[in-house]
Amino acid sequence: MISGDFMLFPQLNESRWLFSLDGIWNFTLGGEAFDENAPKSIIKKSEKIYVPASYNDQKADARFRDHYGWVYYQTAFALPAISNARIMLRFGAVTHACRVYLNGEEIAEHTGGFLPFEVEITDLLNAGENLLTVAVCNIIDSTTLPVGNEIKQSMFGSGLPHFESVKATKIKPRNYPNFDFFNYSGIHRSVCIYTTPKEHIDDVTVTTEINGDSAAVTVKTDVENASVVIFDAEKNEVACGKSGEALTITNVHLWQPGKAYLYTAKITYKNDCYTQKFGVRSVEVKGDKFLINGAPFYFKGFGKHEDSETNGRGINEVLNIKDLSLMKWIGANSFRTSHYPYSEEMLSLCDEEGIVVIAETPAVGLGKESYGKLGNAHKKVVEDMISRDKNHPSIVMWSLANEPYTEEDCAYDYFMPLYNLAHKTDPQSRPVTVVVCNNDYTKDKTAVAMDVICINRYYGWYIFGGDLDAAKQAMTAEMNYFSKYGKPLIITEYGADTISGMHSAVPGMFSEEYQVEYYKCINSVLDSFEFVIGEHAWNFADFQTVQGTMRADGNKKGIFTRDRKPKLAAHYFRSRWQNKK
């Protein structure tokens, strides 16, 4: 029932209409089991909820915050008379699984909470008002991405001891995330209806090749003989021809980190047209260097989350603007979409602002047992993520997973087909990695097989907490080990929980001073190894997690607070990054 694999970002232009369904919807909580009758009529006992956003924090009610199972969204809409057009219903992201009903009839199902899906509704609409219902399930387990823990224990929660009182206690069903961020759920990104002509463009792929001061640009489409006109940033025509042809741009402006330059390709096919922005730049791993446009690039930035008060994981474009502004203020040039694909709006903003992105799948928390249970889910999300995001010049590398089990041959056998798939799927064949965090890095089977070694490491916090001398020794030993592989390495996570406003004359754990001394210690090691080509502090900002004895109102490793106030470490990194090339 869902439309094909290609999903261009919807746009309003001379051949396409675009109608937003964002706003206040009716909403009701369901149970663990799906209610077949709930989506087929008007919800009688409903509350108001805003779309797009997580539903968990929109009400001062634990039933919403801690919900387990299905929920039901509903809204009514009417469209103006539209003739000779294909009408599409599109969801930017619904977390984690959903069923979509139009006027009581099921029209789509989708699994996967961080990528878009759409369905044609041309012949399904009523002449007047239409009732749209979306049933959403937030249940996670060993077969989902991200992974839930089925042994009744969250990643940082407490296990269940075998006391007689515990055995006699009945606990209500709940999710146990095997990942360290809150399991926010709901309709997280925009819902829209858009139109195209019956004969239309479904897919656009832009590839570029730099030849001195010029560039060859090829714009491929899923239709034959589409016309292509390329405009520069000042809207001057610089090339034209047919889809599939190599078109030459002379005196080309390259897309550079921190200095973005975007061209626009206007593609016309019969009565349809679509505009696609793109950048001209090259990405290459050569020896132990990461090259952008032939020049070594050093990643300065963060692991990050889509996370904010009230919105939860829902798209927040005001905060996106603010976050990129703070990145420029601090001197950062990059971030990783930890631990799932981010919104298309954020990636387009990075294209415009010259921020470099490592794009990651939602494969976080994979244990050894997951490899036999996920089936094609991981493969599909790799394909769908790359299909959606292939034209973003800001994306320079794909991450297949975060902190999976990688200490046996089964891990290598699992990830190498995904590695090959990513290269095959990506028309630019960008570098591919897996972000690892092993207790014994000498047993790792995947990190060194990737194009770039990416590691998460917490010496001085989870290991040798409070002992920075020991942390420095351990970090040095690990860097000495990885140096023998002749590949570039990024430390994609390192950090220390820090309570904003907590200060200590003698730096101690959780104080702002300790966070600074921690980073000074680890960075002194990173600076002594030339194959280290990046540092991503964990995390950009404090974020919400599941409740547990190791988390006080969330993860406090942010360089900024959750409401984007700088901690002492922000000023340390600002000084470091503004002077580090």
Q: With helix as H, strand as E and coil as C, how does 37-104 read?
A: CHHHCCCCCCEEEEECCCCCCCCCCHHHHCCCCEEEEEEEECCCCCCCEEEEEEECCEECEEEEEECC
pLDDT band at residue 167 using 50, 70 and 90 as cut-offs: confident
**Taking residues 187-209, what's their average pLDDT?**
97
Tokens 């009400």 label which residue?
Answer: 59
Q: In this structure, which amino acid lies at residue 296? A: P
Among 403, 478, 512, 535, which one carries the catalytic annotation? Answer: 403
Contact in structure between 393 and 427 (CB atoms under 8 Å): no
Q: Which residues pair with 387 in a beta bridge?
A: none
What is the chain's mean pLDDT, rounded?
Answer: 94
- According to the model, what pLDDT value does residue 307 have? 97
- The answer to whether the CB of 113 falls within 8 A of the CB of 362 is yes
Q: Rounded to whole angstroms, how far apart are CA atoms 260 and 491?
A: 25
Asked about 493 being catalytic, the answer comes back as: yes
Q: Which of 11, 86, 18, 19 is nearest to 274 (CA)?
A: 11
Mapped onto helix, strand or coil, the DSSP state of residue 13 is strand
The predicted model gives 391-402 an average pLDDT of 98
Return all residues near 477 (Cβ < 8 A) that are at least 6 apart: none
> What is the rounded distance in angstroms from the CA atom of residue 231 to the CA atom of residue 238?
6
DSSP state of 192: E
Of 118, 344, 360, 493, which is the active-site residue?
Answer: 493
| Residue 187 β-bridge partners | 94
Query: Quick check: helix, strand or coil at residue 443?
Result: helix
Phi, psi (degrees; rounded to nearest 5) at 439: -65, -35
> How many Å apart are CA 518 and CA 465, to the nearest integer?
10
Question: Minimal CA–CA distance to 55: which of 183, 192, 172, 193?
Answer: 183
Alpha helices in 309-408 (DSSP H): 317-330, 344-353, 377-389
Span 387-401, average pLDDT? 98
DSSP annotation of 172 reads P
CA 532, CA 514: separation in Å to the nearest integer? Answer: 24
Beta bridge partners of 332: none
Residues composing the chain: 581
Question: Torsions phi, psi of 525, nearest 5?
Answer: -75, -50
pLDDT of residue 4: 45
Confidence class for position 168, pLDDT limits 50, 70, 90: confident
| Residue 200 tokens, joined | 């239309």
Q: 413, 447 in Cβ contact below 8 A?
A: no
Q: Which of 566, 551, 456 is nearest to 510 (CA)?
A: 551
The count of other CB atoms within 10 Å of the CB of residue 224 is: 9
pLDDT at 1 over 70: no
| pLDDT at residue number 404 | 95
Q: Which of 168-177, 286-295, 312-321, 556-565 is predicted with the least confidence, judged by mean pLDDT?
A: 168-177
DSSP, collapsed to helix, strand or coil, labels residue 11 as coil
* Cα separation, 311 vs 314, whole angstroms: 5
* Two tokens, residue 198: 């019956």
d(CA 360, CA 380): 13
Least trusted range by pLDDT, from 1-10, 175-184, 406-415:
1-10
pLDDT at 172: 85
Query: Which H/E stretch holds residue 423?
Result: helix 409-425
**Alpha carbon 88 to chain centroid, angstroms:** 24
CA 283 to chain centre: 20
Examine residue 146 and say whether the peptide bond preceding it is cis (omega within 30 degrees of 0). yes
Token pair of 8, please?
């261009």
Band of the pLDDT at 104, cuts 50, 70, 90? very high
Residue 237 confidence (pLDDT) above 90: yes
Helix H or strand E encompassing 118: strand 117-120
C-alpha span between 40 and 107 (Å, rounded): 12
Please give the pLDDT value at position 8.
95
HSE-up of 425 (CA within 13 Å, CB side)? 22
pLDDT of 170 above 60:
yes
H or E element, residue 435 = strand 432-436
CA–centroid distance for 558 within its chain? 18
Active site residue 530: no
How far is residue 350's CA from residue 302's CA, in Å, rounded to a whole number?
A: 14
Residue 243 and residue 227: Cα distance in Å, rounded?
6
484-498: pLDDT as tens digits = 999 999 999 999 999
Closest CA to 249 of 217, 279, 227, 219: 217
- Region of 406 please: left (phi>0), alpha (psi -120 to 50) or beta: alpha
pLDDT digits (tens, 9 = 90+) for 311-320: 999 999 999 9
Answer yes or no: are the C-beta atoms of 98 and 89 closer than 8 Å.
Answer: no
Specify the pairing of strand 214-221 against strand 246-249. antiparallel
Q: 66: which 2 tokens?
A: 């801690």
Of 328, 322, 336, 208, nearest to 265 (Cα)?
208
- pLDDT for residue 526: 98
